Structure 1
Amino acid sequence: MKGLVIDEPWISLLLRGEKTWEMRSRHTTMRGRIGLIRKGTGLVVGIADVVDSIGPLDAIAWRAHRARHRIPLELEKDASRWNVAWVLESVRALRQPVPYEHPSGAVVWVALSDDVVARMDVAHGTSQRSTVAPPTDPQAASLKKRPTPADTPTEGIDRLRMVPVARDGSRFIPALRRAGGFTIGRKGEEVVVRDYLDALAELRRMDAPRWRRPNAQGNWGIVTGVRWEASGCSEQDKK
Protein backbone atom coordinates (compact mmCIF):
# COMPACT_ATOMS: atom_id res chain seq x y z
CA MET A 1 0.00 0.00 0.00
CA LYS A 2 1.09 3.57 -0.66
CA GLY A 3 0.80 6.46 1.73
CA LEU A 4 0.11 10.02 0.57
CA VAL A 5 1.91 12.82 2.43
CA ILE A 6 -0.45 15.74 3.09
CA ASP A 7 0.33 18.94 4.97
CA GLU A 8 -1.87 20.86 7.39
CA PRO A 9 -4.51 22.19 7.27
CA TRP A 10 -5.57 19.94 4.37
CA ILE A 11 -5.02 16.62 6.15
CA SER A 12 -7.24 17.66 9.06
CA LEU A 13 -9.93 18.95 6.70
CA LEU A 14 -9.93 15.57 4.96
CA LEU A 15 -10.14 13.61 8.20
CA ARG A 16 -13.01 15.79 9.43
CA GLY A 17 -14.89 15.26 6.19
CA GLU A 18 -14.69 18.93 5.26
CA LYS A 19 -13.00 18.38 1.88
CA THR A 20 -12.82 15.56 -0.65
CA TRP A 21 -10.41 16.97 -3.23
CA GLU A 22 -6.66 17.06 -2.64
CA MET A 23 -5.34 19.64 -5.09
CA ARG A 24 -2.03 18.89 -6.80
CA SER A 25 -0.03 20.17 -9.75
CA ARG A 26 -0.24 16.99 -11.84
CA HIS A 27 -2.39 13.90 -12.40
CA THR A 28 -2.04 10.65 -10.51
CA THR A 29 -2.72 7.19 -11.90
CA MET A 30 -3.01 5.79 -8.38
CA ARG A 31 -6.41 4.24 -7.64
CA GLY A 32 -7.78 2.38 -4.65
CA ARG A 33 -6.93 2.28 -0.95
CA ILE A 34 -4.12 4.49 0.37
CA GLY A 35 -2.82 5.65 3.72
CA LEU A 36 -3.04 9.31 4.71
CA ILE A 37 0.18 10.67 6.23
CA ARG A 38 0.34 13.88 8.23
CA LYS A 39 3.39 15.69 6.88
CA GLY A 40 6.34 16.02 9.23
CA THR A 41 5.03 13.59 11.86
CA GLY A 42 6.08 10.17 10.59
CA LEU A 43 2.53 8.95 11.24
CA VAL A 44 -0.21 7.41 9.12
CA VAL A 45 -3.37 9.02 10.48
CA GLY A 46 -6.07 7.82 8.10
CA ILE A 47 -7.05 5.84 5.03
CA ALA A 48 -8.97 6.72 1.89
CA ASP A 49 -9.76 5.52 -1.62
CA VAL A 50 -8.42 7.46 -4.60
CA VAL A 51 -11.21 7.30 -7.19
CA ASP A 52 -10.39 9.99 -9.75
CA SER A 53 -7.92 12.60 -10.96
CA ILE A 54 -9.64 15.61 -12.52
CA GLY A 55 -8.20 18.57 -14.36
CA PRO A 56 -6.46 20.71 -15.10
CA LEU A 57 -9.09 23.13 -13.81
CA ASP A 58 -9.06 26.73 -14.94
CA ALA A 59 -9.45 29.55 -12.41
CA ILE A 60 -13.22 29.66 -12.87
CA ALA A 61 -13.70 25.95 -12.16
CA TRP A 62 -11.17 26.10 -9.33
CA ARG A 63 -13.22 28.84 -7.70
CA ALA A 64 -16.58 27.21 -8.41
CA HIS A 65 -15.63 24.00 -6.60
CA ARG A 66 -13.94 25.54 -3.59
CA ALA A 67 -16.34 23.66 -1.30
CA ARG A 68 -14.60 20.46 -2.34
CA HIS A 69 -10.96 21.53 -2.07
CA ARG A 70 -11.32 24.26 0.61
CA ILE A 71 -8.40 26.38 -0.60
CA PRO A 72 -9.32 29.96 0.41
CA LEU A 73 -9.92 32.61 -2.20
CA GLU A 74 -6.90 34.61 -1.07
CA LEU A 75 -4.76 31.79 -2.47
CA GLU A 76 -6.50 31.92 -5.83
CA LYS A 77 -3.26 33.05 -7.45
CA ASP A 78 -2.04 29.49 -6.87
CA ALA A 79 -4.91 28.00 -8.88
CA SER A 80 -2.67 27.65 -11.91
CA ARG A 81 -0.31 25.51 -9.83
CA TRP A 82 -2.78 23.46 -7.77
CA ASN A 83 -5.15 22.79 -10.65
CA VAL A 84 -5.59 19.00 -10.59
CA ALA A 85 -8.03 17.42 -8.13
CA TRP A 86 -7.23 14.02 -6.65
CA VAL A 87 -10.67 12.80 -5.61
CA LEU A 88 -10.82 10.87 -2.34
CA GLU A 89 -13.70 8.80 -0.99
CA SER A 90 -14.31 6.63 2.09
CA VAL A 91 -11.98 8.75 4.20
CA ARG A 92 -11.46 7.35 7.68
CA ALA A 93 -9.35 8.63 10.55
CA LEU A 94 -7.41 5.90 12.33
CA ARG A 95 -8.23 5.72 16.01
CA GLN A 96 -4.54 5.28 16.75
CA PRO A 97 -1.96 6.82 14.37
CA VAL A 98 0.55 4.31 13.03
CA PRO A 99 4.26 5.23 12.78
CA TYR A 100 6.17 4.36 9.63
CA GLU A 101 9.72 4.77 8.33
CA HIS A 102 9.93 7.86 6.16
CA PRO A 103 12.46 7.90 3.29
CA SER A 104 14.97 10.71 3.05
CA GLY A 105 14.09 13.74 0.96
CA ALA A 106 10.81 15.30 -0.09
CA VAL A 107 8.34 12.72 -1.38
CA VAL A 108 4.65 12.65 -2.28
CA TRP A 109 4.09 8.88 -1.98
CA VAL A 110 5.58 6.48 0.55
CA ALA A 111 5.64 2.69 0.19
CA LEU A 112 4.20 1.37 3.47
CA SER A 113 5.60 -1.89 4.83
CA ASP A 114 3.43 -4.95 5.44
CA ASP A 115 3.84 -4.43 9.19
CA VAL A 116 2.58 -0.85 8.97
CA VAL A 117 -0.37 -1.92 6.81
CA ALA A 118 -1.25 -4.67 9.29
CA ARG A 119 -1.26 -2.16 12.16
CA MET A 120 -3.34 0.20 10.05
CA ASP A 121 -5.88 -2.58 9.50
CA VAL A 122 -6.17 -3.03 13.26
CA ALA A 123 -6.57 0.71 13.81
CA HIS A 124 -9.00 0.92 10.90
CA GLY A 125 -11.19 -1.79 12.43
CA THR A 126 -11.90 0.43 15.43
CA SER A 127 -11.90 3.77 13.61
CA GLN A 128 -14.87 5.89 12.67
CA ARG A 129 -15.78 6.92 9.14
CA SER A 130 -15.44 10.62 8.50
CA THR A 131 -18.76 12.28 7.76
CA VAL A 132 -18.31 14.08 4.47
CA ALA A 133 -20.31 17.28 4.43
CA PRO A 134 -22.46 17.75 1.33
CA PRO A 135 -21.14 20.33 -1.13
CA THR A 136 -22.66 23.77 -0.76
CA ASP A 137 -22.22 25.03 -4.30
CA PRO A 138 -24.86 24.08 -6.93
CA GLN A 139 -22.35 22.85 -9.50
CA ALA A 140 -20.64 20.52 -7.04
CA ALA A 141 -23.99 19.26 -5.78
CA SER A 142 -24.98 18.30 -9.31
CA LEU A 143 -21.93 16.09 -9.81
CA LYS A 144 -22.66 12.39 -9.69
CA LYS A 145 -20.28 9.67 -8.61
CA ARG A 146 -18.13 8.58 -11.48
CA PRO A 147 -16.78 5.10 -12.19
CA THR A 148 -13.07 4.76 -11.61
CA PRO A 149 -11.41 5.72 -14.92
CA ALA A 150 -8.19 4.47 -16.43
CA ASP A 151 -5.16 6.73 -16.60
CA THR A 152 -7.03 9.58 -18.35
CA PRO A 153 -10.04 10.87 -16.33
CA THR A 154 -12.10 11.85 -19.36
CA GLU A 155 -15.53 11.63 -17.78
CA GLY A 156 -14.55 13.65 -14.72
CA ILE A 157 -13.07 16.34 -16.91
CA ASP A 158 -16.21 16.46 -19.06
CA ARG A 159 -18.39 17.12 -16.03
CA LEU A 160 -16.21 19.85 -14.57
CA ARG A 161 -14.73 21.53 -17.64
CA MET A 162 -15.49 25.20 -18.20
CA VAL A 163 -16.17 25.87 -21.87
CA PRO A 164 -16.77 29.07 -23.85
CA VAL A 165 -20.33 29.88 -24.90
CA ALA A 166 -21.22 32.11 -27.86
CA ARG A 167 -23.98 34.73 -27.85
CA ASP A 168 -26.35 32.30 -29.59
CA GLY A 169 -25.83 29.73 -26.83
CA SER A 170 -23.60 27.38 -28.81
CA ARG A 171 -20.69 25.86 -26.91
CA PHE A 172 -17.26 24.64 -27.80
CA ILE A 173 -17.82 20.88 -27.53
CA PRO A 174 -16.00 17.70 -28.65
CA ALA A 175 -18.54 17.16 -31.43
CA LEU A 176 -17.06 20.14 -33.33
CA ARG A 177 -14.04 18.11 -34.34
CA ARG A 178 -13.63 17.78 -38.10
CA ALA A 179 -11.20 15.61 -40.05
CA GLY A 180 -8.08 17.46 -38.94
CA GLY A 181 -9.23 18.60 -35.51
CA PHE A 182 -10.78 21.77 -34.08
CA THR A 183 -10.56 25.11 -35.91
CA ILE A 184 -10.03 28.03 -33.54
CA GLY A 185 -8.87 31.64 -33.74
CA ARG A 186 -9.75 34.93 -35.41
CA LYS A 187 -10.80 34.87 -39.07
CA GLY A 188 -7.71 34.81 -41.22
CA GLU A 189 -5.61 33.59 -38.27
CA GLU A 190 -7.30 30.24 -37.70
CA VAL A 191 -5.34 27.22 -36.55
CA VAL A 192 -6.38 23.58 -36.38
CA VAL A 193 -5.73 21.76 -33.10
CA ARG A 194 -6.15 18.00 -33.09
CA ASP A 195 -6.90 17.43 -29.39
CA TYR A 196 -9.99 18.88 -27.72
CA LEU A 197 -8.29 19.72 -24.41
CA ASP A 198 -5.39 21.36 -26.22
CA ALA A 199 -7.84 23.43 -28.26
CA LEU A 200 -9.71 24.42 -25.10
CA ALA A 201 -6.45 25.50 -23.48
CA GLU A 202 -5.67 27.68 -26.50
CA LEU A 203 -9.12 29.27 -26.33
CA ARG A 204 -8.47 30.22 -22.70
CA ARG A 205 -5.36 32.11 -23.75
CA MET A 206 -7.24 34.26 -26.25
CA ASP A 207 -8.60 37.69 -25.34
CA ALA A 208 -11.90 36.48 -26.78
CA PRO A 209 -12.25 32.76 -27.58
CA ARG A 210 -13.20 32.09 -31.21
CA TRP A 211 -13.96 28.76 -32.85
CA ARG A 212 -15.60 27.38 -35.96
CA ARG A 213 -18.94 25.60 -35.71
CA PRO A 214 -21.91 24.83 -38.00
CA ASN A 215 -25.01 27.03 -37.98
CA ALA A 216 -28.61 25.85 -38.38
CA GLN A 217 -28.10 25.54 -42.14
CA GLY A 218 -25.00 23.39 -41.66
CA ASN A 219 -22.57 26.10 -42.78
CA TRP A 220 -19.40 26.37 -40.73
CA GLY A 221 -18.48 29.81 -39.43
CA ILE A 222 -16.53 31.45 -36.62
CA VAL A 223 -18.28 32.49 -33.41
CA THR A 224 -16.95 34.41 -30.43
CA GLY A 225 -17.40 33.29 -26.84
CA VAL A 226 -19.07 35.80 -24.52
CA ARG A 227 -18.96 33.78 -21.29
CA TRP A 228 -17.67 30.55 -19.74
CA GLU A 229 -19.90 27.85 -18.26
CA ALA A 230 -19.53 24.35 -16.83
CA SER A 231 -19.81 22.05 -19.81
CA GLY A 232 -22.17 19.35 -18.49
CA CYS A 233 -21.48 17.51 -21.74
CA SER A 234 -24.37 15.32 -22.80
CA GLU A 235 -23.93 12.07 -24.66
CA GLN A 236 -25.17 13.85 -27.78
CA ASP A 237 -22.43 16.48 -27.42
CA LYS A 238 -19.77 13.78 -27.37
CA LYS A 239 -20.90 12.08 -30.58
Structure 2
Amino acid sequence: MTTAELKEFLDTKVELYNNPSFIASDPIQIPHQFSIKEDIEIAGFLSATIAWGNRKSIINNANKMMELLEHSPYDFVINHEETDLIKLENFVHRTFNGYDFATFIQGLQHIYKNHNGLEAVFSKHANTEGLQASIHHFKSAFFEIEHLQRTQKHISDPFKNSAAKRINMFLRWMVRDDNTGVDFGLWKHISPSKLSCPLDVHSGNVARKLGLLKRKQNDGKAVKELDDALYQLDPNDPVKYDYALFGLGVFEGF
Protein backbone atom coordinates (compact mmCIF):
# COMPACT_ATOMS: atom_id res chain seq x y z
CA MET A 1 0.00 0.00 0.00
CA THR A 2 1.10 3.56 -0.66
CA THR A 3 1.02 6.01 2.25
CA ALA A 4 -2.18 7.54 0.88
CA GLU A 5 -3.83 4.11 0.57
CA LEU A 6 -2.72 3.14 4.06
CA LYS A 7 -4.13 6.37 5.50
CA GLU A 8 -7.44 5.84 3.68
CA PHE A 9 -7.63 2.23 4.95
CA LEU A 10 -6.87 3.20 8.55
CA ASP A 11 -9.18 6.23 8.49
CA THR A 12 -12.01 3.87 7.50
CA LYS A 13 -11.20 1.61 10.45
CA VAL A 14 -11.06 4.57 12.84
CA GLU A 15 -14.55 5.54 11.71
CA LEU A 16 -15.70 1.95 12.22
CA TYR A 17 -14.42 1.60 15.78
CA ASN A 18 -14.21 5.15 17.22
CA ASN A 19 -17.91 5.43 18.02
CA PRO A 20 -20.16 4.81 21.06
CA SER A 21 -20.65 1.11 20.24
CA PHE A 22 -16.97 0.64 21.20
CA ILE A 23 -17.68 1.61 24.82
CA ALA A 24 -19.70 -1.49 25.75
CA SER A 25 -16.75 -3.86 25.29
CA ASP A 26 -13.98 -1.62 26.60
CA PRO A 27 -12.76 -0.52 30.07
CA ILE A 28 -13.51 3.07 29.04
CA GLN A 29 -17.11 2.25 30.02
CA ILE A 30 -16.11 2.64 33.71
CA PRO A 31 -15.32 6.38 33.66
CA HIS A 32 -18.37 6.83 31.40
CA GLN A 33 -20.48 6.00 34.47
CA PHE A 34 -19.63 9.44 35.89
CA SER A 35 -20.24 13.08 35.01
CA ILE A 36 -17.99 15.02 37.43
CA LYS A 37 -14.51 15.69 36.02
CA GLU A 38 -12.60 14.34 39.03
CA ASP A 39 -14.76 11.21 39.22
CA ILE A 40 -14.07 10.54 35.53
CA GLU A 41 -10.33 11.08 36.02
CA ILE A 42 -10.05 8.78 39.02
CA ALA A 43 -12.32 6.07 37.59
CA GLY A 44 -10.34 6.24 34.35
CA PHE A 45 -6.96 6.13 36.05
CA LEU A 46 -7.85 3.14 38.25
CA SER A 47 -9.52 1.25 35.38
CA ALA A 48 -6.53 1.84 33.10
CA THR A 49 -4.18 0.72 35.88
CA ILE A 50 -5.68 -2.79 35.88
CA ALA A 51 -6.24 -2.93 32.10
CA TRP A 52 -4.20 -6.01 31.30
CA GLY A 53 -5.40 -9.57 30.75
CA ASN A 54 -8.93 -10.67 29.91
CA ARG A 55 -11.09 -7.66 28.99
CA LYS A 56 -14.20 -9.06 30.70
CA SER A 57 -12.20 -9.58 33.89
CA ILE A 58 -10.77 -6.05 33.65
CA ILE A 59 -14.26 -4.54 33.36
CA ASN A 60 -15.67 -6.70 36.18
CA ASN A 61 -12.84 -5.81 38.53
CA ALA A 62 -12.93 -2.12 37.62
CA ASN A 63 -16.64 -2.15 38.49
CA LYS A 64 -15.74 -3.80 41.82
CA MET A 65 -13.31 -0.94 42.43
CA MET A 66 -16.10 1.59 41.92
CA GLU A 67 -18.37 -0.34 44.29
CA LEU A 68 -15.67 -0.31 46.97
CA LEU A 69 -15.31 3.44 46.45
CA GLU A 70 -19.09 3.76 46.98
CA HIS A 71 -19.54 4.99 43.38
CA SER A 72 -18.07 8.35 44.44
CA PRO A 73 -14.37 7.92 43.65
CA TYR A 74 -13.32 11.56 44.13
CA ASP A 75 -15.19 11.94 47.42
CA PHE A 76 -13.67 8.68 48.67
CA VAL A 77 -10.16 9.67 47.60
CA ILE A 78 -10.33 13.11 49.24
CA ASN A 79 -12.26 12.32 52.41
CA HIS A 80 -11.39 8.71 53.31
CA GLU A 81 -9.93 7.85 56.67
CA GLU A 82 -7.46 5.04 57.26
CA THR A 83 -10.21 2.72 58.50
CA ASP A 84 -12.07 3.16 55.19
CA LEU A 85 -9.18 1.46 53.39
CA ILE A 86 -9.65 -1.82 55.28
CA LYS A 87 -12.47 -2.91 52.97
CA LEU A 88 -10.10 -2.65 49.98
CA GLU A 89 -7.81 -5.35 51.37
CA ASN A 90 -9.48 -8.28 49.60
CA PHE A 91 -9.43 -6.70 46.14
CA VAL A 92 -7.26 -8.45 43.59
CA HIS A 93 -6.70 -8.21 39.84
CA ARG A 94 -3.80 -10.37 38.75
CA THR A 95 -0.77 -8.90 40.61
CA PHE A 96 -2.60 -5.73 41.68
CA ASN A 97 -3.80 -6.48 45.20
CA GLY A 98 -5.67 -4.77 48.01
CA TYR A 99 -2.54 -3.16 49.43
CA ASP A 100 -1.77 -1.69 46.00
CA PHE A 101 -5.35 -0.43 45.72
CA ALA A 102 -5.18 1.28 49.12
CA THR A 103 -1.80 2.82 48.23
CA PHE A 104 -3.23 4.13 44.96
CA ILE A 105 -6.09 5.81 46.84
CA GLN A 106 -3.56 7.48 49.14
CA GLY A 107 -1.41 8.44 46.16
CA LEU A 108 -4.39 10.00 44.41
CA GLN A 109 -5.31 11.94 47.55
CA HIS A 110 -1.74 13.27 47.63
CA ILE A 111 -1.96 14.28 43.96
CA TYR A 112 -5.24 16.17 44.43
CA LYS A 113 -4.36 17.79 47.77
CA ASN A 114 -0.72 18.67 47.13
CA HIS A 115 -0.27 18.79 43.34
CA ASN A 116 -3.58 20.36 42.20
CA GLY A 117 -4.90 17.15 40.65
CA LEU A 118 -4.10 14.73 37.85
CA GLU A 119 -4.44 17.18 34.97
CA ALA A 120 -2.10 19.69 36.63
CA VAL A 121 0.63 17.09 37.23
CA PHE A 122 0.60 15.75 33.68
CA SER A 123 0.30 19.22 32.12
CA LYS A 124 3.24 20.62 34.09
CA HIS A 125 5.85 18.49 32.30
CA ALA A 126 4.24 18.15 28.87
CA ASN A 127 6.64 19.32 26.18
CA THR A 128 7.20 19.32 22.45
CA GLU A 129 8.67 15.81 22.61
CA GLY A 130 5.45 14.29 23.98
CA LEU A 131 4.28 13.11 27.38
CA GLN A 132 7.07 10.75 28.40
CA ALA A 133 8.45 13.32 30.86
CA SER A 134 4.93 13.92 32.16
CA ILE A 135 4.48 10.24 32.98
CA HIS A 136 7.91 10.01 34.61
CA HIS A 137 7.32 13.04 36.85
CA PHE A 138 3.77 11.93 37.65
CA LYS A 139 5.09 8.61 38.91
CA SER A 140 7.62 10.42 41.12
CA ALA A 141 4.93 12.67 42.59
CA PHE A 142 2.48 9.81 43.05
CA PHE A 143 4.94 7.78 45.12
CA GLU A 144 6.04 10.64 47.39
CA ILE A 145 3.75 8.96 49.94
CA GLU A 146 4.84 6.04 52.08
CA HIS A 147 4.53 2.82 50.07
CA LEU A 148 5.98 -0.61 49.44
CA GLN A 149 8.46 -0.80 46.57
CA ARG A 150 6.39 -3.54 44.87
CA THR A 151 3.51 -1.13 44.22
CA GLN A 152 5.68 1.04 41.95
CA LYS A 153 5.54 -1.60 39.22
CA HIS A 154 1.90 -0.70 38.57
CA ILE A 155 2.86 2.64 37.03
CA SER A 156 5.27 2.30 34.11
CA ASP A 157 8.09 4.73 33.40
CA PRO A 158 8.91 5.58 29.76
CA PHE A 159 12.33 6.81 30.93
CA LYS A 160 13.07 3.13 31.63
CA ASN A 161 12.08 2.22 28.05
CA SER A 162 8.61 1.02 29.02
CA ALA A 163 5.80 1.22 26.45
CA ALA A 164 3.59 2.48 29.32
CA LYS A 165 0.55 1.16 27.48
CA ARG A 166 -2.00 1.57 30.27
CA ILE A 167 -1.10 5.11 31.24
CA ASN A 168 -0.90 6.17 27.58
CA MET A 169 -4.41 4.75 27.18
CA PHE A 170 -5.60 6.76 30.19
CA LEU A 171 -4.06 9.91 28.71
CA ARG A 172 -5.83 9.25 25.41
CA TRP A 173 -9.12 9.04 27.28
CA MET A 174 -8.53 12.33 29.11
CA VAL A 175 -6.91 14.44 26.38
CA ARG A 176 -8.39 13.36 23.07
CA ASP A 177 -11.75 14.90 22.10
CA ASP A 178 -13.02 12.60 19.36
CA ASN A 179 -16.44 14.30 18.90
CA THR A 180 -18.09 10.87 19.05
CA GLY A 181 -18.47 10.52 22.82
CA VAL A 182 -15.83 7.82 23.40
CA ASP A 183 -12.66 9.66 24.51
CA PHE A 184 -13.51 12.45 26.95
CA GLY A 185 -11.32 15.40 25.91
CA LEU A 186 -11.50 16.73 29.49
CA TRP A 187 -7.95 18.04 29.65
CA LYS A 188 -7.50 21.20 27.59
CA HIS A 189 -3.88 22.01 28.46
CA ILE A 190 -2.35 19.09 26.56
CA SER A 191 -2.51 18.81 22.78
CA PRO A 192 -3.73 15.47 21.33
CA SER A 193 -0.76 15.69 18.95
CA LYS A 194 1.51 14.92 21.95
CA LEU A 195 -0.21 11.64 22.88
CA SER A 196 1.51 8.29 22.41
CA CYS A 197 -0.17 5.17 21.08
CA PRO A 198 -1.09 2.64 23.81
CA LEU A 199 1.07 -0.07 22.33
CA ASP A 200 0.13 -3.66 23.19
CA VAL A 201 0.44 -7.06 21.52
CA HIS A 202 -2.58 -6.46 19.27
CA SER A 203 -1.75 -2.97 18.03
CA GLY A 204 1.93 -3.89 17.77
CA ASN A 205 1.32 -6.94 15.58
CA VAL A 206 -1.04 -5.05 13.26
CA ALA A 207 1.37 -2.09 13.03
CA ARG A 208 4.17 -4.45 11.98
CA LYS A 209 2.01 -6.13 9.33
CA LEU A 210 1.14 -2.70 7.92
CA GLY A 211 4.78 -1.58 7.89
CA LEU A 212 4.26 1.12 10.53
CA LEU A 213 6.61 -0.54 12.99
CA LYS A 214 9.80 -2.51 12.50
CA ARG A 215 11.03 -2.95 16.07
CA LYS A 216 10.14 -6.39 17.41
CA GLN A 217 9.80 -5.54 21.13
CA ASN A 218 6.81 -3.60 22.43
CA ASP A 219 8.89 -1.12 24.42
CA GLY A 220 9.48 2.60 24.67
CA LYS A 221 11.57 2.71 21.50
CA ALA A 222 8.78 0.94 19.59
CA VAL A 223 6.27 3.49 20.87
CA LYS A 224 8.45 6.33 19.56
CA GLU A 225 8.79 4.61 16.17
CA LEU A 226 5.03 4.01 15.92
CA ASP A 227 4.22 7.55 17.11
CA ASP A 228 6.44 9.00 14.37
CA ALA A 229 4.71 6.85 11.73
CA LEU A 230 1.20 7.75 12.90
CA TYR A 231 2.15 11.43 13.09
CA GLN A 232 2.86 11.31 9.36
CA LEU A 233 -0.72 10.13 8.76
CA ASP A 234 -2.35 12.76 11.01
CA PRO A 235 -0.11 15.25 12.87
CA ASN A 236 -3.04 16.73 14.81
CA ASP A 237 -4.56 13.49 16.10
CA PRO A 238 -2.13 10.60 15.52
CA VAL A 239 -3.47 8.43 18.33
CA LYS A 240 -6.90 8.10 16.72
CA TYR A 241 -5.25 5.24 14.81
CA ASP A 242 -5.10 3.26 18.06
CA TYR A 243 -8.75 2.43 17.34
CA ALA A 244 -7.86 1.11 13.90
CA LEU A 245 -4.88 -0.96 15.04
CA PHE A 246 -6.64 -2.35 18.11
CA GLY A 247 -9.88 -3.05 16.23
CA LEU A 248 -8.07 -4.82 13.39
CA GLY A 249 -6.19 -6.98 15.90
CA VAL A 250 -8.91 -7.81 18.43
CA PHE A 251 -12.11 -7.77 16.41
CA GLU A 252 -10.87 -8.75 12.93
CA GLY A 253 -7.89 -10.99 13.71
CA PHE A 254 -5.89 -9.06 11.11
TM range (shorter): under 0.3
Return the TM-score normalized by structure 2. 0.24
Return the TM-score normalized by structure 1. 0.25
Structure holding more helix per residue: 2
Larger Rg: 1
